[in-house]
């Protein structure tokens, strides 16, 4: 019954998020499409035509890295302070703190998934779908969702007790955007520093999307799934440890 109740809470919060996000705006729900499309177009223009990064099917290459990045970075930065900003809701209603994170994750995922599908359709001529690549996409999406939610929970818990986390995270995300092979291929990184990419959890997820959508390689996709699964297990364990350690003090400090 408790699980059913929390699922109802999550669905109610998600619908409320979706309805309120673009309420009283001129474009309304079209902002779901407009924002990612503008980011994608600007990045494509700069890196393909101005910086002239020489990558075959560059728009697919960029799509497979940029949109997953937008979801992960948006999820982390928008939820890191959620326990503090939703203090009244947590204290007034029987809402599990995780329900706030998960409902926000679903809302942000929808805002990622719609333009993702639209751009795949728009760039259909450049896509070279492989059956195994298509079959791997749902698993990659699930892994990305679970991993990002796990990290978001850990950061939101820490933010309650250490209010600098929000600022450190914003700085970290900005730096990682350039250190993660999103708009440039991995081979451009000097060999002595490529190990930094291998320990980058963002890239562990993104490389799977690049393999599935851009140039499918079964070994590359399987490696991405294994690596991202290992990172996710570590993140879930961390979130569990932090929750058990701080849950009794959480409501007293928000």
Q: How far apart are CA 250 and CA 72, in angstroms?
A: 25
pLDDT of residue 3: 64
Given this model, what pLDDT does residue 12 score? 81
pLDDT-derived band at 70 (thresholds 50, 70, 90) equals very high
CA-based nearest residue to 179, from 160, 156, 195: 195
Report the share of the chain in percent with pLDDT over 90. Answer: 44
Separation between Cα atoms, residue 187 and residue 122, nearest integer Å: 28
**Cα–Cα distance, 11 to 199 (Å, whole number):** 35
Question: Longest C-alpha distance within the chain, in Å?
Answer: 57
Residue 246's pLDDT is what?
92
pLDDT at residue 88 in the model: 85
Please write the tens of the pLDDT for every residue from 186-221.
Answer: 888 998 888 889 899 999 999 999 888 887 788 888
Q: With 60 as the cut, is the pLDDT of residue 1 above it?
A: no
Report the distance separating Cα 70 and Cα 116, nearest Å: 11
Report DSSP state, residue 254: -
Pick the range with the lowest mean pLDDT from 16-20, 47-51, 168-172, 215-219.
Answer: 16-20
| Confidence at residue 216, expressed as pLDDT on a 0 to 100 scale | 79
Span 69-85, average pLDDT: 93
**H or E stretch including 117?**
helix 97-122
Instruction: Give the pLDDT confidence of 80-133 residue by residue, as tens digits.
Output: 999 999 888 888 777 889 999 999 999 889 888 888 888 888 887 766 666 677
Say what the pLDDT of residue 201 is.
92
Q: What is the pTM of this model?
A: 0.89
| Rounded percentage of the chain residues whose pLDDT exceeds 70 | 91
Is the pLDDT assigned to residue 40 strictly greater than 70?
Answer: yes
Any idea where the domains of the chain sit in the sequence?
2-253
Residues 223 and 203: their CA atoms lie apart, in Å, by: 12
Over residues 64-89, the mean pLDDT reads 92
């Amino acid at each position: 019954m408790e699980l059913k109740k929390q699922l109802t809470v999550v669905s109610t919060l998600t619908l409320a998020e979706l309805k309120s996000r673009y309420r009283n705006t001129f474009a309304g729900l079209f902002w779901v499409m407009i924002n990612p499309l503008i980011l994608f177009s600007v990045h494509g223009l700069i890196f393909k035509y101005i910086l002239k990064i020489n990558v075959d099917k560059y728009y697919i290459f960029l799509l497979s890295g940029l949109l997953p990045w937008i979801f992960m970075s948006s999820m982390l930065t928008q939820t890191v302070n959620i326990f503090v900003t939703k203090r009244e809701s947590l204290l007034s209603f029987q809402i599990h703190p995780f329900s706030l994170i998960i409902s926000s994750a679903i809302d942000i995922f929808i805002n990622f998934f719609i333009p993702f599908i639209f751009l795949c359709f728009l760039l259909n001529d450049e896509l070279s779908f492989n059956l195994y690549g298509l079959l791997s996409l749902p698993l990659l999406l699930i892994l990305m969702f679970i991993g990002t939610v796990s990290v978001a929970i850990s950061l939101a818990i820490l933010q309650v007790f250490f209010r600098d986390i929000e600022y450190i995270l914003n700085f970290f995300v900005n730096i990682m955007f350039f250190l993660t092979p999103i708009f440039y291929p991995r081979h451009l990184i000097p060999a002595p520093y490529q190990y930094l990419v291998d320990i980058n959890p963002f890239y562990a997820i993104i490389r799977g999307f690049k393999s599935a959508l851009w140039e499918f390689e079964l070994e590359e996709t399987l490696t991405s799934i294994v690596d991202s699964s290992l990172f996710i297990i570590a993140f879930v364990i961390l979130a569990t440890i932090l929750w058990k350690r701080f849950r009794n003090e959480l409501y007293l400090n928000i």
